[in-house]
Amino acid sequence: MADRFRVTLAQLNPTVGDLAGNAAKARTAWEEGRKAGADLVALPEMFITGYNTQDLVMKPAFHTAAIAEVEKLAADCADGPALAIGSPWVEGTKLYNAYLILKGGKIASRSLKHHLPNETVFDEVRIFDAGPLGGPYAVGNTRIGSPICEDGWHEDVAETLAETGAEFLLIPNGSPYFRDKMEVRFNHMVARSVETHLPVIYLNMVGGQDDQVFDGGSFVLNPGGSLALQMPVFDEAYAQLDLERTDDGWRAVEGEKAHLPDAWEQDYRVMVESLRDYMGKTGFKKVLLGLSGGVDSAIVAAIAVDALGAENVRCVMLPSEYTSRESLDDAEAVAKALGVRYDYVPISEGRTAITNTLAPLFEGMEPGLTEENIQSRLRGLLLMAMSNKFGEMLLTTGNKSEVAVGYATIYGDMNGGYNPIKDLYKTRVFETCRWRNANHRPWMKGPEGEVIRPNVIDKPPSAELREDQKDSDSLPDYPVLDAILDILVDQDGSIADCVAAGYDRDTAKRVEHLVYISEYKRFQSAPGARLTRRAFWLDRRYPIVNRWRDPS
């Protein structure tokens, strides 16, 4: 009986739908394991299809092709270590989320996911069938249990595997980031190791998919919950894990333990990686954005440069007569600090033409919000024209505070293909700018040092659509607004909760009203990086037509 077992952990970045490309990554990982003398090479959940596939995986042609790709992979990887890979699996009329073990040129074993998550970004109950509680599979004479992702968060699957002879747990995951999630993962995995008295291997994927970023951070625990190995967050990486048989059962040999960054760095990394992968996986090479001289467009420009490089970012100032000299100077300073192309496209002439065109219809009516929005929509039109002409994807720059209350012009400044700061409240935008000025990391393609000058961060925010306009003319001050939004949106709280926290009831009711009436705007808004467990899109799905208001 073997007293040592080596697992190659492959923390990699698949692309949804790229079956051949994902299989190629799997073959490379298998070769790495073969060179390292591994007994088993392990890949994350649903690796062959990429994750989260949503309804795509239900398409018979797609899941049939995915399984065929795995069968071909098994034949290619016949002579060497076993290969474990996440894949859809069909039995009769049922479709499963499965973990397939490839040995000897065929699919030798499979585990089927039992607990199907049906919350936040996951809809697996409507996509997959639930597999039964099962036993371990064998690689050589070693028995391994593989609860799949959500199964690892419930004690019954792990306990059943332990009771039926599993010698350690290998848990493949497609677990996307939200702020401070690593602590949640550790807590669940420690519980599994304590309950089963087995080593626990938590293997997660990396990479961006639409709004989600899979942050890796794979780790290994010995019985009782002691950390034996920690892989880095966000980076593709391999780790060679050795397990040794002792008188007390299998134990993981301690390996490298990567440093885990704080929440500010992880949030920023998510925004960079989500944009980088969204671009790379959709085929876009370059972006452009309107650079207003304000804090939101400045941080989006910095994120874009860090993700893609300055040579792939175009910033455009589109001034009107309401644009201050201060904003012109601030925008230019940011563009120069980041090293991007900076175009100057005044909107005055176009605005005059539109005003004259509408004058017969608007005769006798006072100028107001309509005329303000014309400016924003004209900017959107010009930016989209440049996007079409130059083949550069337009980024939109609205923060979560604005997205929540609809403080944005639909078909104007909401235009764009992606929004890196969609889940970042305004108060965190300010602090994120300060963090970026003070920090630089090897994964950033932008320059070191101060890239957003302090005046951009410190001046009162303004849309500059009329004389002396300030955001505070239309909204509560951002610290108050964000605190109320955190209660109503992130905590799913009530008006009474806002009042109990010390906020004015009328202000809270006004914010609630703005949130509800802005649903139609969010429905048409660009996707953006998910930073919290209550991001706008899949985490929070509300009807557009909705007359209910909290009576408390």
Q: Is residue 552 part of a domain?
A: no
Annotated catalytic residue 273: no
Contact of 74 with 83, CB cutoff 8 Å: yes
Q: Is residue 503 part of a domain?
A: no
Same-domain check for residues 354 and 284: yes
Q: Is residue 302 part of a domain?
A: yes
Q: Is residue 543 part of a domain?
A: no
> How far is it, in rounded angstroms, from Cα 419 to Cα 413?
11
Annotated catalytic residue 159: no
Nearest to 229 by CA among 8, 2, 4: 8
Range of the domain at 46: 4-260
Same-domain check for residues 290 and 230: no
> How far is it, in rounded angstroms, from Cα 251 to Cα 84?
20
Same-domain check for residues 324 and 348: yes
| Tokens at 205, concatenated | 């994927």
Q: Which pLDDT does position 223 carry in this prediction? A: 96
Q: Which pLDDT does position 304 carry in this prediction? A: 98
Task: Choose the catalytic residue: 25, 103, 124, 149.
Answer: 149
End-of-domain residue from the set 210, 233, 260: 260
Same-domain check for residues 71 and 84: yes
Render 507-529 in DSSP notation, one character per residue: HHHHHHHHHHHTHHHHHTSPPB-
pTM of the prediction? 0.96
Q: Is residue 514 part of a domain?
A: no
Q: Is residue 404 part of a domain?
A: yes
Same-domain check for residues 13 and 118: yes
Same-domain check for residues 281 and 315: yes
> How far is it, in rounded angstroms, from Cα 519 to Cα 180?
27
Annotated catalytic residue 45: yes
Task: Choose the catalytic residue: 45, 69, 150, 167.
Answer: 45
Same-domain check for residues 274 and 368: yes
Nearest to 429 by CA among 300, 315, 543: 300
End-of-domain residue from the set 441, 468, 495: 468
Residues of the chain with pLDDT under 50: none
Same-domain check for residues 277 and 254: no
Render 117-186 in DSSP notation, one character per residue: --STT--HHHHSPPPPP---EEETTEEEE---GGGGGSHHHHHHHHHTT-SEEEEEE--B--TTHHHHHH
Same-domain check for residues 292 and 375: yes
Task: Choose the catalytic residue: 103, 113, 400, 521.
Answer: 113
| Tokens at 484, concatenated | 């109320």
266: three-class secondary structure by DSSP: helix
Q: Is residue 377 part of a domain?
A: yes
Q: Which pLDDT does position 1 carry in this prediction? A: 60
Give yes or no for a cis peptide into 187 (omega within 30° of 0). no
Domain count, the chain: 2
End-of-domain residue from the set 468, 489, 524: 468
Same-domain check for residues 170 and 292: no
Same-domain check for residues 315 and 439: yes
Same-domain check for residues 231 and 268: no
Q: Is residue 332 part of a domain?
A: yes
Render pLDDT for 218-228 as a digit per residue (tens, 0 to 9): 999 999 999 99
Render pLDDT for 97-141 as a digit per residue (tens, 0 to 9): 999 999 999 999 999 999 999 988 999 999 999 999 999 999 999
Give the CATH number of the domain where residue 33 resides: 3.60.110.10
Give the CATH number of the domain where residue 435 resides: 3.40.50.620
